[in-house]
Amino acid sequence: MENQYGICRVAVAPLRAEPSDRAEIVSQLLFGDHVEILQKDERWWLIQNGYDGYQGWLDFRQLAFITQDQFVEMHECQWLAPLSFDNVLTAMDGSLYHLSPASNLPYLKDGFCFAGKEKYQLKFEAHNAHNVDFKKDVESTAKFFQNIPYLWGGRHLFGMDCSGFVQTVFKMLNIKLNRDAAQQAEQGELVGFLAECRAGDVAFFDNAEGKITHVGIMLSPNEIIHSSAKVKIDPIDDQGIFNRELGIYSHKLRIIKRFVE
């Protein structure tokens, strides 16, 4: 198949493990995410997210076509939907789209953005990811998502998994992270001791088999914000995260990484 490319033209589109409405949701596309189309199976297309390389199946009607040149141009992701619950786009037919923070706003100009040939008017002020101060903004950015429920594969305001939460926070701060916790653990620089942590460091946790299965953002050497049941702040020590509700250590600390010196 000749290389083809697309852009998500709905607020959120599920990426599934198999080409079926009943298949597991492995991740999500947000509005403006650019993708490469790898395979077609009737209405189900296998795509690869241009931002993080993640693959999954989605209903092709949730995409608009773009050119290869446009696909390459969209890697930058400068203009994003801001930290707000009121990010509204108006399509040319007058219908509304309600965007989650960190949604891309491709080809933003004079209050309009584009998904393929479709034009949308912004009813909000866009967030410039190139104009942030990581150390100053990371804590408030992470806390914006507090109490959003946990959702396997989720990346939007009404459900996030642990790595989707971390990836979204860092995207708002102009740092590109991979999609899954184990993939994110391969990035960044190692922090030797918990006592050396500072806000914005990322902690990773493993299971009994030694596989990294959870991730969160450090707020201090003794507090972490992470998505587990919901996005919340929990105490942490050298053993891991202590869950006050359960009265046990729920996640065993493996490593800590730093992305900004």
Question: What is the domain extent for residue 32?
Answer: 4-127
Per-residue pLDDT of the chain (261 residues; tens, 9 = 90+): 567 999 999 999 999 999 999 999 999 999 999 999 999 999 999 999 999 999 999 999 999 999 999 999 998 889 999 999 999 999 999 999 999 999 999 999 999 999 999 999 999 999 999 999 999 999 999 999 999 999 999 999 999 999 999 999 999 999 999 999 999 999 999 999 999 999 999 999 999 999 999 999 999 999 999 999 999 999 999 999 999 989 999 999 999 999 999
- 196 and 215 part of one domain: yes
Contact (Cβ atoms closer than 8 angstroms) between residue 256 and residue 201: yes
| pLDDT for res 76 | 84
Q: What are phi and psi of 166, to 5 degrees?
A: -65, -45
CATH of the domain at 11: 2.30.30.40
Q: Of the candidates 58, 93, 127, which is a domain's last residue?
A: 127
DSSP 90-116: EETTS-EEEEPTT-B-TT-BTTEEEET
| pLDDT for res 39 | 96
- 75 and 155 part of one domain: no
| pLDDT for res 1 | 58
| pLDDT for res 237 | 96
Q: Which two structure tokens, joined as six digits, stand for 206?
A: 């493993």
Q: Which two structure tokens, joined as six digits, stand for 125?
A: 């002020």
- 122 and 147 part of one domain: no
Q: Of the candidates 127, 157, 179, which is a domain's last residue?
A: 127
> Number of structural domains, the chain?
2
| pLDDT for res 240 | 96
CA torsion, ordered 140, 145, 147, 153, to nearest 10 deg = -150
CB neighbourhood size of 235 (10 A): 11
- 114 and 178 part of one domain: no
DSSP 20-52: STTSPEEEEEETT-EEEEEEEETTEEEEEETTT
- 209 and 189 part of one domain: yes
Contact (Cβ atoms closer than 8 angstroms) between residue 164 and residue 155: yes
- 54 and 86 part of one domain: yes
Crossing angle of the two packed helices 134-144 and 162-172, in degrees rounded to 10: 140
